[in-house]
Amino acid sequence: MSDLFENETAIVTGASRGIGSGIATKLAEHGASVVINYRSSDQRAMEVVEEIEADGGTAVAVQADVSEYGDVEAMVEATVERFGALDILVNNAGMTTIGPAAEVDIADWRRVIDIDLTGVFIGCQVAGCQMQEQADGGAIVNIASMMGQMGYHMRAPYCAAKAGVINLTRTLAVEWAADDISVNALAPGFIKTDITDQTQDSAGYTDDDIRGRTPMARFGTVEEMANCVSFLARDDTFVTGEVLQADGGWTSDAWRYHEGRV
């Protein structure tokens, strides 16, 4: 345990599994009281809470659909009622759909945009207003993706949503800088989680395909993403409106496939 975020409260959306779970656990390790947001799996959320508490941290689970304004508003109100304030918001909840752009069902498009972009805006708006009311600053970290800064086949809704998250982040950073609210984004590359395994199966690529196209020749880890968020959530960096690319060099690499790593 450290005291980096001692006496601070954080909400992490989509925190019952994967990267969200890792971020919540890391913030708790640094002393924050953490709200584990989940949409449907209360069992997984409670398991994360129990793990944090077993390590001496403080956490509660709160159900909310991030695409529903009333749900998010109620979650922030419950957080403030329980802990007294909201200092950090991590907009992590997201989803994707895989398929050719010409065949994307409009209902699938809307659901991805609702969760991955509108949900981020709702979270920022509600949390940002709460932080402004508290008049003590705050930090918002939006989980974007390297796919928000590049074209990627079979991911039209997801790429569009994450590109929106990136420019939304920059806009809010400019608007809220005077309130001492930092707004930054993390853009992960391929991170090894059970969700990644599911999307790989759907898209038909292998672990070796990813390693071969990543200059660091491996997947990123949940722990690494949690460390990145911990940096972006600090209040002593003079950083706002930035997109931290954590993709092992993928988007910087013009050569692309490193066959044989030559």
Whichever domain contains 164, its CATH number is 3.40.50.720
Q: State the residue for tokens 């759909």.
A: 97
What is the pTM for the complete model shown? 0.95
Taking only the tens place, the pLDDT of each residue in 9-36 is 999 999 999 999 999 999 999 999 999 9
Structure confidence at residue 258 (pLDDT): 58
What is the reported pLDDT for 261? Answer: 45
User: What is the rounded distance in angstroms from the CA atom of residue 52 to the CA atom of residue 39?
Assistant: 19
The answer to whether residue 250 sits within a structural domain is no
User: If you search the block for the tokens 């450290």, which residue do you land on?
Assistant: 2
CA atoms of 16 and 5, how far apart (whole Å): 21
Structure confidence at residue 202 (pLDDT): 63
Residue 249 lies in a domain: no
What is the extent of the structural domain holding 76? 9-244
Among residues 29, 1, 78, the alpha carbon closest in space to that of 229 is found at 29
Total number of domains in the chain: 1
| Residues labelled catalytic | 158
Collapsed DSSP state (helix, strand, coil) of residue 21? helix
pLDDT at 196 over 90: no
User: Residue 79: in which H helix or E strand, if any?
Assistant: helix 69-83
Please report whether residue 261 resides in a domain: no
Higher pLDDT, 254 or 37: 37
Cβ neighbours around 152 below 10 Å, total: 14
The predicted-structure confidence for 109-118, as pLDDT tens digits, reads as follows 999 999 999 9
- Residue 187 falls within a domain, yes or no? yes
Burial class (CB in 10 A: 0-12, 13-18, 19+), 31: middle
Amino acid in the structure at residue 91: N
Q: Is residue 254 part of a domain?
A: no
Question: Using the 8-state DSSP alphabet, how is residue 191 labeled?
Answer: B
In this structure, what DSSP letter does residue 118 have?
A: I
- Tokens representing 22 are 């890792």
Does residue 4 sit within a domain? no
Does 29 fall in a domain?
A: yes
